[in-house]
Amino acid sequence: MNGGAVGTGEAIVFWVSGTLAVIGALGMVISRKAVHSALFIALTMINLAILYVANSAPFLGMVQIIVYTGAVMMLFLFVLMVVGVDSSDSLIETIKGQRVAAFLLGVGFSILLIAGIGNGLMETSSTGLDAANAAQGGNVEGLAALMFGPYLIAFEVTAALLITAAMGAMILTHRERWMPKRTQRELSQERFASGAHPGQLPAPGVYARHNAVDTPALLPDGSTSDISVPEPLRVRDDIREVDPAEIDEVRQLSADSSGEDDGR
Amino acid sequence: MTDGQFGLFGTDPWWLVIGKAVAIFGLLVLLTLFTIWWERRVVSRMQNRIGPNRVGPQGLLQSLMDGFKLALKEEVIPKAAHLGVYWIAPVISATAAFIAFAVIPFGPTVSVLGVETPLQLTDFPVSVLYVLAIASIGVYGLVLAGWSSGSTYPLLGGLRSTAQVISYEIAMGLSFVAVFIYAGSMSTSEIVVAQQPIWFAVILLPSFLIYVTSMVGETNRAPFDLPEAEGELVGGFHTEYSSLKFALFFLAEYINMVTVSALATTLFLGGYLAPWPLSLWEGANSGWLPVVWWLIKVQLFIFVFIWLRGTLPRLRYDQFMKFGWKVLIPAALVWVVIVSIARLFRNDVALSNTELLFIGAVIIATLLGGSWLLSARANRKEQRRLDAEAENARRVNEVLTGAATGHPVPPLPGQRFEYTPRRATVTTAEVSSSQAIDADAQEDPHG
């Protein structure tokens, strides 16, 4: 801020973070996988935050990481993962001349941006960071005074806009339940009130010879248990038969093992 | 930068900065080893077991030996893993865990080899936000681990941890606001100094409770350890990790526990300041002694973590999310509003009795209106439930017809299955006399 004198430390931070930020930005555009793009842009955001901190804007840097890297990009990643783990961009142009148009628009936008900011900066005289910070007693206090002073309306309107967007998203994805959700208590009360066996249904069991869904469990006494077969199969009588020889074997096995237990 | 406390930060010679960083690293590794042992012993005690007591005195070296064993194990990398991301995820997790500790104050200014220096690596005006920011970078480790493993359970674990940490970070951030308002600063060292007469845990009790709850959610610890729920997700995000990479996740989890405990100590329990009866003694808050108070307070929080793990069963996922969004965040918001209003009244507003009465009337009217709305809502809900029950009662014994013609669909509440035979049960003996069986089957398909 004063005469452009840059310390060695700051220069190192600038060149390292700046390079990483540019690499991240390029990687975000170049990489085919959507998740990789998201990671590269997170890298860019973190390095920009480091640059903010190095330029004596610690609050901005931290908020950049918390809000953009921590929340916005994280939600992006979340959506990407839900949508498809391996989704990647196709490089086929769906609209003719898309790339040329995009390139021209990009160049045009950068010229506009540089010209606009450059023009704005020409006419504004700089107070200097130290003086600006000293006016309110600190960098954070200065930001607060600006945000909740002259720019209060803009701040509140932006907040209202964001909340409206969030509400809109919630309403669009809201589904009306066609009957009230039963609570865990009600469910358990029903389960016991019906008088049916409240626990899990029998699994194929220790002596199982097959684990297909239509195979009934073999009970130790040599009988089969029909309730171990799913109901839709059971009502259609789609229960696989068990070879009587196997049943005998099971009865024999369980008799042996209980005999051993008694011997102990 | 503001003056005062920050004067001593950034003036350390290079060897002292390196020394402090190495000391913090060593402390964190030691605390991790200790915490693992401590946790196993305490949980054992709570479950009527003894716990590790063979290696070293009282089994103290057990976690060190386990660490060696873990590091020397074979590393299994799944074929479907995205290698680069798979490799960097544990690194992000562990790095973030370590660097968050840079702004935690261990003690007041002391003299090290003739240099006056605060017992804290660094500090700046927004250092509490720095801890939050680093924590949110650390989540990337979990999420990327889940994604890059190329397997379903880790992916689900990764998604859960994202949702969980984002949700609980909001409540956590909101619980800081009251502390910032009362301390007038967001720097850790200034917040500690601001608790000189009385700790913020006392005057800002709701904030403290909200923070303690959300810090358990933030560190994925029981009862909020849904990203690694064994019963549902095998190991969660680190299912496919083994050997040293798994050790890094393990390390990160325990360091995160220490970090959030240290932050709780700093923000609410007066950091390194001596507890009340001791604080009457002048020397309790100077020199190296406060490090002991700090350590005791941090261990207190870690004990709470262990205690919770030994006591509470894991929450169901929807209950957990509902608790975060519908209880913690609104409670934190209401509390922030109350604190701000109280501060405003104390600082700049002088009210007449009429105005006070008017404000009281408005508050009472709001509460009455709110309770009326709530009861009306409860009535509507009850009515909907009764309607649905009537609908279900109507449907009782109605036959589900879907299965007869197409795919067997589940019945609506109250409906029962229609009996649709697809295959008559035919035994080999019966096949020979098929004519008689056919007539039989038509009569009674059950066989």
- Distance in angstroms (rounded) separating the CA atoms of residues B141 and B87: 10
Write out chain A residues lying below 8 Å of B134, CB-based.
Answer: 65
Does residue B5 carry a pLDDT above 60? no
Comparing CB atoms, the residue among A62, A82, A235 nearest residue B419 is A235
The alpha carbon of residue B445 is apart from the nearest alpha carbon of chain A, in Å, by 9
A64 to chain B: closest CA residue: B133
State whether residue A118 sits within 8 Å of chain B by CB.
no
- Average of per-residue pLDDT across B330-354: 81
Restricting to B residues 141-180, those with a Cβ less than 8 Å away from any Cβ of A are 143-144, 146-147, 150, 155, 158-159, 162-163, 166, 169, 173
Residue to mutate among A36, A85, A176, with most B CBs inside 10 A, is A85
State whether residue A134 sits within 8 Å of chain B by CB.
no
Restricting to B residues 230-259, those with a Cβ less than 8 Å away from any Cβ of A are none
Comparing CB atoms, the residue among A78, A140, A232 nearest residue B408 is A232
Q: What is the mean pLDDT of each run of 10 residues along chain A (264 residues)?
A: 63 90 90 84 90 86 87 82 64 78 93 90 77 78 86 93 92 79 84 82 69 79 79 82 80 70 45
State whether residue A235 sits within 8 Å of chain B by CB.
yes
Q: Pick the closest to residue A238 from B422, B429, B400 (CA basis).
A: B422
Relative orientation angle of helices B243-268 and B83-99, to the nearest 10 degrees? 30
Q: Which CA distances in Å does B345 have to B172, B227, B357?
A: 26, 44, 15
In one letter, which amino acid is B189? Answer: S
B423 to chain A: closest CA residue: A238
Judge whether B274 and B221 are in contact, CB under 8 Å. no
The tokens of B162 are what?
């994202």
Cβ neighbors of B244 (< 8 A, separation 6 or more) are: B70, B71, B75
State whether residue A238 sits within 8 Å of chain B by CB.
yes
State whether residue A63 sits within 8 Å of chain B by CB.
yes
- Distance in angstroms (rounded) separating the CA atoms of residues B258 and B106: 13
Predicted local distance difference test score (pLDDT) of residue B373: 92
Element (H, E) at B400: strand B399-400
- Average of per-residue pLDDT across B426-442: 47
Query: Is A78–B159 a contact, with Cβ atoms under 8 angstroms apart?
Result: yes
Residue to mutate among B92, B237, B423, B426, with most A CBs inside 10 A, is B423
| % of chain B with per-residue pLDDT over 90 | 9
A183 sits in the region (left: phi over 0; alpha: psi -120 to 50; else beta) called beta
Q: Number of Cβ pairs closer than 8 Å across A and B?
A: 119
Does residue B366 carry a pLDDT above 70? yes
The tokens of B437 are what?
């069986």
Q: Pick the closest to residue B141 from B33, B250, B303, B12 (CA basis).
A: B250
Comparing CB atoms, the residue among B140, B381, B422 nearest residue A236 is B422
B80 to chain A: closest CA residue: A86
The alpha carbon of residue B130 is apart from the nearest alpha carbon of chain A, in Å, by 6
Q: Is the ipTM of this complex over 0.90?
A: no
The alpha carbon of residue A226 is apart from the nearest alpha carbon of chain B, in Å, by 14
Predicted local distance difference test score (pLDDT) of residue A1: 41
Query: Each residue of B53-107: pLDDT tens digit?
Result: 888 888 888 888 988 898 888 888 888 888 888 888 999 989 998 998 888 888 8
B131 to chain A: closest CA residue: A62
Q: pLDDT band at B425, cuts 50/70/90?
A: low
The alpha carbon of residue B427 is apart from the nearest alpha carbon of chain A, in Å, by 9
State whether residue A232 sits within 8 Å of chain B by CB.
yes
Find the DSSP H helices in B269-316: 276-279, 290-311
Angle, CA B130 vertex, CA B129 and CA B136 arms, to 5°? 90
Judge whether A228 and A206 are in contact, CB under 8 Å. no
Element (H, E) at B118: strand B115-119
Q: pLDDT band at B142, cuts 50/70/90?
A: confident
Say how many Å lie between the first and final Cα of chain B, rounded: 89
Q: Which CA distances in Å does B241 have to B59, B299, B348, B367?
A: 27, 29, 57, 53
Query: Is A140–B133 a contact, with Cβ atoms under 8 angstroms apart?
Result: no
State whether residue A59 sits within 8 Å of chain B by CB.
yes
Find the DSSP H helices in B281-427: 290-311, 317-322, 329-347, 353-395, 402-405
Cβ neighbors of B352 (< 8 A, separation 6 or more) are: none
Comparing CB atoms, the residue among A71, A180, A235 nearest residue B417 is A235
- Distance in angstroms (rounded) separating the CA atoms of residues B254 and B262: 12
HSE-up of B278 (CA within 13 Å, CB side)? 12
Residue to mutate among A73, A74, A194, A242, with most B CBs inside 10 A, is A74
- Average of per-residue pLDDT across B211-216: 90
Predicted local distance difference test score (pLDDT) of residue B439: 44
Predicted local distance difference test score (pLDDT) of residue B416: 66
Q: Which CA distances in Å does B124 have to A45, A56, B297, B362?
A: 21, 10, 24, 42
Coil vs helix vs strand at B110:
strand
For chain A, counts of helices (H) and of strands (E): 11, 2
The tokens of B199 are what?
């700790």
Judge whether A241 and B423 are in contact, CB under 8 Å. no
Write out chain B residues lying below 8 Å of A42, CB-based.
Answer: 140
Comparing CB atoms, the residue among A62, A74, A137 nearest residue B139 is A74
Query: Is B137–A58 a contact, with Cβ atoms under 8 angstroms apart?
Result: no
Mean pLDDT, rounded, of chain B: 81
Q: Give the single-character DSSP code of B131.
A: H
The alpha carbon of residue A9 is apart from the nearest alpha carbon of chain B, in Å, by 13
State whether residue B125 sits within 8 Å of chain A by CB.
yes
Instruction: For B171-192, give one letter per residue: b (16+ CB within 10 A) or e.
Output: bbbbbbbbbbbbbebbbbbbbb
Length of chain B: 447
State whether residue B428 sits within 8 Å of chain A by CB.
no
Query: Each residue of B277-321: pLDDT tens digit?
Result: 776 777 777 778 888 888 899 999 999 989 998 888 888 888 888
Element (H, E) at B434: helix B434-443
Domain borders along chain A are: 8-85, 202-263
Predicted local distance difference test score (pLDDT) of residue B4: 45
Give domain A8-85's CATH architecture. Answer: Up-down Bundle (1.20)
